[in-house]
Amino acid sequence: MTAPIYTDVDDNLMSTPSQSLSQSLVWLMATATGIAVASNYYAQPLLESIASDFSLSHSTAGNIVTTAQLGYGIGLLFLVPLADMFERRRLIVLMSFLTTIGLLISGLSANVGWLMFGTAVTALGSVVAQVLLPLGATLASEQQRGKIIGTIMGGLLLGILLARVVSGGLSDLGSWRYIYFFATAAMFITTLALAKYLPLYHSDNRSSYLKILGSVIALFSQEPVLRYRSILGLLSFALFSMFWTPLAFLLSAPPYNYTDSVIGLFGLVGIAGVFAANWAGKLADAGHGSLATKLGLSGLLFSWVLLYFAPISLVALLLGILLLDLTVQLVHVSNQNQIYALAPELRNRLTAGYMTCYFIGGAFGSWFSVMLYQHFAWTGVVAGACLTATIACLLGFLYKEK
């Protein structure tokens, strides 16, 4: 048995759905999740172009991605718990609209300061994805929860991957700003669809905001599964970010000399992660979540062995991307299934705690990788990633999960 869950806050959930959790609603939630989270990844294939436009160093340009991930982490900790206080559909719509505003600010930015501000606003609002995900898990039946989590997570991953492709393509049409204007329109349309089709869902919760935030911290102190899975999530997303953040610098330099659109196309290679999300969900439903976790951690380490040869071998680069995106999803979805099983009435706070750690890992990975790239080029990035992956594997294989 695990340590007791924090239950000081009244979490009697009340649902007044305007419709059942139909397949079309699941797909809407998956699409909205993907579009929202994609907002944090448009800059990745454009970093070289943005650096050139604003006369930035590689490390400063890389901080745009770090800002997005830190902003997302802050939003997870301070905004996601609001779902336990307010009606979910209204909150989701407001957060989606905030994302729309942030994207517009980024597109109109006159300097890197405004771009950073727009990025931060976008990141704060885009945590709406982490309100949609536990809502889907809550509305789903016990037998299909893993499948639905996998579907929504698949939409999230697909949004991240297509963000890079569409971003690079629009940039080559004229300007890196085009993607932000396109994304503003897409996010606004998504906001309208969510306002119309999401069911009403709220909790009868009279606790204060500070008490809810305190309960998130209490969950970490009392629940070992949350602590363990959060550390695994932090390390796995750090490894993910350590690849994608400096990739534009590697591919825009010799021997590749690729344009933004070609760099963006590399996101399509990671589409295997979408299938991995569904596979991990099915493994979890069948009681094999631990196996999926160990397979994922082993694959993360081996992917970076392949990526060592990325500067001289396109085949090694493509295989490394394929394995990296697949295995990071195996770990992530397995983590979420284990965490969501702890206490259905606390899913928003469990999500806030876990995903805050997850994006702290992403922010660290982005910062760490651009620093390594600035001073030691690609070899330094690979060395740092292999060390991180080894730590994750040791933790995953040696720790006995209860």
- CA–CA distance, 196 with 129 (Å, rounded to integer): 17
Residue 14 has pLDDT above 70, yes or no: no
* Section 47-53 average pLDDT: 91
pLDDT band at residue 324 under the 50/70/90 scheme: very high
| Residue 20, pLDDT score | 52
* Section 258-273 average pLDDT: 83
Residue 329 has pLDDT above 90, yes or no: no
* Section 188-201 average pLDDT: 93
This prediction's pTM: 0.79
> What is the largest distance, in Å, between two alpha-carbon atoms of the chain?
61
Residue 11 has pLDDT above 60, yes or no: no
CB burial readout 230-247, b (16+ within 10 A) else e: bbbbbbbbbbbbbbbbbb
DSSP 8-state class, residue 399:
S
Mean pLDDT of the chain: 86
Burial (CB count <10 Å: 0-12, 13-18, 19+), residue 396? buried
pLDDT in tens, 105-142: 999 999 999 999 999 999 999 999 988 987 887 777 77
| Residue 232, pLDDT score | 96
- CA–CA distance, 311 with 317 (Å, rounded to integer): 8
pLDDT band at residue 17 under the 50/70/90 scheme: very low
Chain centre distance of CA 177: 23
Domains along the chain with CATH numbers:
17-398 (1.20.1250.20)
* Section 317-326 average pLDDT: 91
pLDDT band at residue 385 under the 50/70/90 scheme: very high
